[in-house]
Homo-oligomer: A and B are copies of this chain.
Amino acid sequence: MAQDEARPGSGSTSGDHGSGPASGTVHPGAAHEGADELVQLIDPHGVRHADVRYDELVADVDGPALRRLYEDMVVVRRIDAEATALQRQGELALWPPLLGQEAAQIGSGRALRADDFVFSSYRENGVAYCRGVDLTDILRVWRGNASSGWDPYSINMATPQVIIGAQSLHATGYAMGIIHDGADSVAVAYFGDGATSQGDVNEAMVFAASYQAPVIFFCQNNHWAISEPVGLQAHVPIARRAPGFGIPSVRVDGNDVLACLAVTREALARARAGGGPTFIEAVTYRMGPHTTADDPTRYRDPNELEDWAARDPLARLAALLDSLGLLDADYADSVKAKADATAATLREGCLAMPEPAPSDVFRHVYSEPNSWLDRQQDHYERYLASFAQASQEGSR
């Protein structure tokens, strides 16, 4: 039932069936010549290929800029590894690794302006890094110490959404507000391949198209939704979904940071110019487990992981830098040092995080006084006090 997804670089598409177009009939895939081709600027071997459409969008990305993208990816991978280690050591309750998705997140994240606004799922810690998040903040929720890590307005990024797909509507509504304000910023919704099955994501496309909202739907197709392969969610490549709603889409090699930067810039420019929404499918791979609680050996072929390791987003940018003479030992050392220092900061922040107070459970449910809850809080405080009293009195 589930078709195999096209692999980046393979150039093949799948899921096409039926004959050619006929009078009045639309066959899925039939009329989409080239639609499933991946935008790729750097191939898995680190070779930069020319592209008539996208080269000019990244014309400014010179050697130093490429190095910054590389650094970002190395640092984010290190942050991710450190958080995974913290979870294994019992310092975090859970962690959703982004291993393998660095290029998709950095490439898109670095395209954004400070006044754009991001609505993401739980896995976009690389994007949060680009937004300038305080490192400790990305751990608060996973340590169980807070209901959220940061003030969304401080970095113009909503705190992670756990309900799959729900944030796509928030981004669309936010973008409707941007139109209303006459601003030229853009809202970006990040979600996964699995999310595309949710009604919310499809309704978001309806609203975005209807109001021509400046929103980007950035779908990281990492091939898995926990144990479910992408073919169960989408019978044809995901990027084909959006045009049916009147939204242009593009399929990009999600492991190519430069291509991700280029397509996101294109979408941003369209949105800023009043051209409405864009859907980006970044084809990538979740190299780790779904979360640290997951055991992917139960459901996926180890060979698949190997295949994808050969398309590693960091390795290919390293190869490109090397070919450009930009990856000398000194530089490599300095990047590693930066990554290690960042990881150390992360760990410190994690361990130094203050414990919440019991009465914090009652805070911020409402912004105004609430007689029901205030009474419950009063009663609970009396209850807690009764222990203090009891232990003073030495009884029970």
The residues of A with any CB-CB pair to B shorter than 8 Å are 1-2, 15, 18, 21-29, 31-35, 37-39, 51-54, 196-200, 202-203, 206, 209-212, 232-236, 239-252, 263
Expressed in whole angstroms, the minimum distance between the Cβ of A393 and any Cβ of chain B is 46
> In the complex the two chains form, is A243's CB within 8 Å of B244's CB?
yes
| A242: chain B residues within 8 A (beta carbon) | 26, 28, 244
A191–B26 Cα distance when bound, in Å, is: 20
> In the complex the two chains form, is B26's CB within 8 Å of A248's CB?
yes
> In the complex the two chains form, is B198's CB within 8 Å of A210's CB?
no
> In the complex the two chains form, is A34's CB within 8 Å of B15's CB?
no
Chain B residue nearest to A196 in the complex (CB):
B206
**Identical copies in the complex:** 2
Expressed in whole angstroms, the minimum distance between the Cβ of A387 and any Cβ of chain B is 40
> In the complex the two chains form, is A233's CB within 8 Å of B248's CB?
no
| A241: chain B residues within 8 A (beta carbon) | 244-245
Chain B residue nearest to A207 in the complex (CB):
B197
Other-chain residue from B2, B211, B251 in contact with A210 (beta carbon distance below 8 A): B2
A2–B209 Cα distance when bound, in Å, is: 9
> In the complex the two chains form, is A246's CB within 8 Å of B236's CB?
yes
Expressed in whole angstroms, the minimum distance between the Cβ of A172 and any Cβ of chain B is 13
> In the complex the two chains form, is A35's CB within 8 Å of B39's CB?
no
> In the complex the two chains form, is A235's CB within 8 Å of B245's CB?
yes
A232–B54 Cα distance when bound, in Å, is: 33
Q: Which 8 A-B pairs have the closest CB atoms?
A: A199-B199, A235-B246, A244-B244, A202-B202, A209-B235, A24-B39, A28-B243, A236-B246
> In the complex the two chains form, is A250's CB within 8 Å of B21's CB?
no
> In the complex the two chains form, is B232's CB within 8 Å of A210's CB?
yes
Expressed in whole angstroms, the minimum distance between the Cβ of A344 and any Cβ of chain B is 40
Residue with the greatest number of chain B CB neighbours at <10 A, chosen from A1, A198, A211: A1
Other-chain residue from B1, B21, B52 in contact with A211 (beta carbon distance below 8 A): B1
> In the complex the two chains form, is B240's CB within 8 Å of A236's CB?
no
Other-chain residue from B1, B35, B244 in contact with A245 (beta carbon distance below 8 A): B244
| A18: chain B residues within 8 A (beta carbon) | 248
Q: Mind listing 18 A-B residue pairs with CB under 8 Å? A: A21-B34, A22-B53, A23-B37, A23-B54, A24-B250, A25-B53, A26-B35, A26-B240, A26-B251, A27-B248, A28-B246, A31-B34, A31-B35, A196-B206, A199-B199, A199-B200, A199-B202, A210-B232
